[in-house]
Amino acid sequence: MILAANLPGILYPLARTACLFSLLFLGACGEQSVLVELSGETMGTRWHVSVATSADKPSEQLTALIQDTLDQVDAGMSTYRPDSDLGRFNRAAPGQWVTISPQTLDVTGIALRVAEQTGNAFNPAVATLVDLWGFGPGELGASVPDEAQIEAALSTTRLDQLELDSTVPALRKLSPMQLDYSAIAKGYGTDQVAVQLERAGLHDFLVEVGGEVRTAGEHPRGRPWRVGIERPQRVQGRAIAALSLADEAVATSGDYRNYREVDGRRYSHTIDPATGYPVSHRLASVTVLAPTAVLADAYATAINVMGPVAGLAFAEKMALPVYLLVKQQEGFEVLYSSAFEPYLQ
């Protein structure tokens, strides 16, 4: 069943920021000494981990493990680091093979599968367009690009011009192309932290990297982990809906914190790979649940590109639990897929 309801609230403008943080943790930890809270910085944002552990697992060692895991992902997939796999690939000439890490190969395969599923609404080859519109590592221009610049950038988004060699592993482009994994790398990093915690013998935790969340087991109080979907606004605020999660991942994508304004017009950081322009529909945010954070991250971006109507239809087709907040003249309209309904009970 699809539900629509009107909710009060307004969106507030905000200058360009480095990341979107769309999920709020709900409920205090209490005095449970077995719950350890860890945090740090990565990929231009912050990470937080809540893990049930014992005294023989020093928090310093766990923090180092988590930070090293995320640093490895960043080293492969950052578009801001010239020595990263993507940095080297983006500078390489067409036809030149670029060696990459197994992790970058893994993410590339996932990105290409999601691109196929979504009809390229999710497209990792949008880096040139992202930079052109002022949301990448390049210099921010004072004006918006013209049609000729956009057409030229669109020619670099053809995924049939990307080749993978899984044995080396390596990537090469057959024509000019730049890759941007900012819509999938944080989710992948979240999953990698979860893998490392499991290998360390820890099975009850909540991992969050820049708003992408992965849960396992349960809270030490014997209940599921509680995560809230944030009301779209300029600063972190109260949750608009609460979720109980166990062994699941959740990600949110939206335009309410990352955009730019030129001559009084607002431009979303989400670029439609089909048109080369920022999306202009009324979808304020989309929250997706999936078995892994990397898939939740990628699907959330794709649905944010599609917009509320096509996005909800895609969610129903894929049986994805999806929750949408659509801007109205007064507040938001809430839409959610059939698969999301059980999470609201």
- % of residues, the chain, pLDDT over 90: 69
pLDDT of residue 237: 55
Residue 17 CB-density burial (10 A; 0-12 exposed, 13-18 middle, 19+ buried): middle
pLDDT of residue 20: 32
Lowest mean pLDDT among 30-44, 100-114, 278-292: 30-44
Please, are residues 230 and 252 in contact by the beta-carbon 8 Å criterion?
A: yes
pLDDT of residue 315: 98
Residue 134 CB-density burial (10 A; 0-12 exposed, 13-18 middle, 19+ buried): buried
Q: Please compute the mean of the pLDDT values over residues 80-90 and round it to a whole number.
A: 96
pLDDT of residue 24: 47
Q: Does the pLDDT value for residue 188 go beyond 80?
A: yes
Q: Does the pLDDT value for residue 59 go beyond 60?
A: yes
pLDDT of residue 256: 58
Residue 55 vs residue 282, higher pLDDT = 282
Residue 29 vs residue 202, higher pLDDT = 202
Residue 228 CB contacts under 8 Å (≥ 6 apart), including other chains: 23, 24, 25, 26, 238, 239, 240, 241, 242, 243
Could you tell me the CA-to-CA distances from 318 to 106, 273, 280, 298 in Å, in that order?
22, 21, 24, 14
Closest by CA position to 324, among listed 338, 334, 315 = 334
- How would residue 112 be classed by pLDDT, with cut points 50, 70 and 90? very high
pLDDT digits (tens, 9 = 90+) for 192-201: 999 999 999 9
Q: Please compute the mean of the pLDDT values over residues 179-198 and round it to a whole number.
A: 97
Q: What is the side-by-side order of every strand in the sheet holding 332-336?
A: 5-7, 332-336, 322-327, 283-290, 249-254, 212-216, 205-209, 45-52, 35-42
pLDDT of residue 109: 97
pLDDT of residue 332: 87
Could you tell me the CA-to-CA distances from 190 to 75, 89, 140, 230 in Å, in that order?
15, 24, 29, 19
Q: What is the mean pLDDT of the chain?
A: 86
Could you tell me the CA-to-CA distances from 152 to 42, 124, 127, 128, 155 in Å, in that order?
33, 17, 13, 9, 5
Q: Does the pLDDT value for residue 7 go beyond 70?
A: no
Lowest mean pLDDT among 130-134, 248-252, 267-271: 267-271
Closest by CA position to 219, among listed 27, 6, 45, 75 = 27
Buried b / exposed e along 201-213 (16+ C-beta atoms within 10 A): ebebbbbbbbbbb
Q: Please compute the mean of the pLDDT values over residues 329-338 and round it to a whole number.
A: 91
Q: What angle do CA 74, 127, 153 make, to 5 degrees?
A: 170
Q: Does the pLDDT value for residue 29 go beyond 50?
A: no
Q: Please compute the mean of the pLDDT values over residues 56-81 and round it to a whole number.
A: 92
Q: Does the pLDDT value for residue 259 go beyond 70?
A: no
Q: Does the pLDDT value for residue 292 go beyond 50?
A: yes
pLDDT of residue 345: 74
**From CA 237, how far away is CA 168, in angstroms rounded?**
46
pLDDT digits (tens, 9 = 90+) for 210-248: 999 999 999 988 899 999 887 775 445 567 788 999 999
Q: Does the pLDDT value for residue 335 go beyond 60?
A: yes
Q: Does the pLDDT value for residue 25 go beyond 50?
A: no
